[in-house]
Amino acid sequence: MKLRDWLSALLVLTAAANAGAADEAMTLFDRGALTRAAALCEQRLAANPADAIAGAVLSRVRSEQGRVDEAIKLATAAAAADPKNPDVLYAVAEANGRKAGAVSILKAGGYAGKLRKSAEAALAVDPNHVNSTSILIDFFRRAPGFMGGDKKKAAELTEKLTQLDPVVGWIRQANFALEKEDSVLAGKCFAHAHEAAPQSGRAAVQLASWLAPRWRDPARAEKLALQVSEAEPWRVGSWQVLAALYAFQERWTELESVLERSEAVDATHLAPWYQAGRQLVVNAKDPTRAERYLRHYLSREPEIGAPSHATARWRLGLALEQQGRKSEATGELAAAVKLDPKLEAAKKDLKRVKG
């Protein structure tokens, strides 16, 4: 087996990031440092409850955590404090979009309507606002017709987005292609994103992620990821690509170096350790090493948006099973299910291991 699963998760994760922003909290959020962004926003809001940007960023963090009602409350307060700020209005749209996806179809319409209203208000202030354009694409693509869904409008906005920000636009088109299982088109779109902005670390990581499987171009993937890790060491996606690639290829010296270097850059973001351990488990290679990596990942609270401890303990249970340590494996799998009762794969493996 392959790099396909972690690759899909990585694409989703990195696709959420935007270009850097002047505000420190927004910059931290855009770089994936959501825990630090939240702490800074909480501090700023305590000093000034009308700090709209802090409220908007914290709303987006809470959305990522699944704390959607809190996200809506924060974003609504931020918009009341600064009703003409497109970044704040976007936060309102995003929080309501998350809520729409979490409730029944009967209740979703109201939240979807608020999403559209807020995103369109943001575009009325700034017609070139990338995030608001992007979320409206999702609205028009996914909403039923009776809620205002319109595939034609979605296509028009996708073209606009690709002109506004070719990296974001082409990556969105690649992900649309993946939804349709059109891997050829997806690969072309990732390549277009990189061609449009060769200096973009985001585009390079996305392309590297796509190229990493052995049937594509892992050598080029490695080269791109190494370049990003040197130019933008804070971009954790590059370290994840390298960690999974080296684990898959059993290049232990390079793997250990990548893990150590990534942690030196950001000790709070241990996702590369998880990806290395996971890849070894998936390929049933060196389960003892996989155990060490996964236990290290479990030694700290995960970054918001990174794999949960429940997921890591599930993988750890499988690594222990591969070593013949059935009793310990059962304990870890049970712990994973207790942490996340919705983790169906862990529940299935627990039942299998228990016999």
Q: What is the pLDDT of residues 93-119, one digit of tens each?
A: 999 999 999 999 889 999 999 999 999
Reading the block at residue 250, the tokens are 């059993």
Q: Single out the residue of 305, 233, 248 nearest to residue 271, CA to CA.
A: 305
pLDDT of residue 106: 83
d(CA 27, CA 81): 21
Architecture, CATH, for domain 20-164: Alpha Horseshoe (1.25)
| pLDDT tops 60 at residue 141 | yes
The answer to whether 25 and 60 have CB atoms below 8 angstroms apart is no
Convert the pLDDT of each residue in 284-316 to its tens digit: 999 999 999 999 999 999 999 999 999 999 999
The answer to whether 222 and 242 have CB atoms below 8 angstroms apart is yes
**3-state secondary structure at position 67:** coil
The answer to whether 284 and 320 have CB atoms below 8 angstroms apart is no
* Interval 266-284 mean pLDDT: 96
The answer to whether 13 and 303 have CB atoms below 8 angstroms apart is no
pLDDT of residue 339: 97
pLDDT of residue 147: 85
| pLDDT tops 90 at residue 207 | yes
d(CA 167, CA 178): 17
Reported confidence tier of residue 146, pLDDT bands at 50, 70, 90:
confident
Reported confidence tier of residue 22, pLDDT bands at 50, 70, 90:
low
pLDDT of residue 4: 35
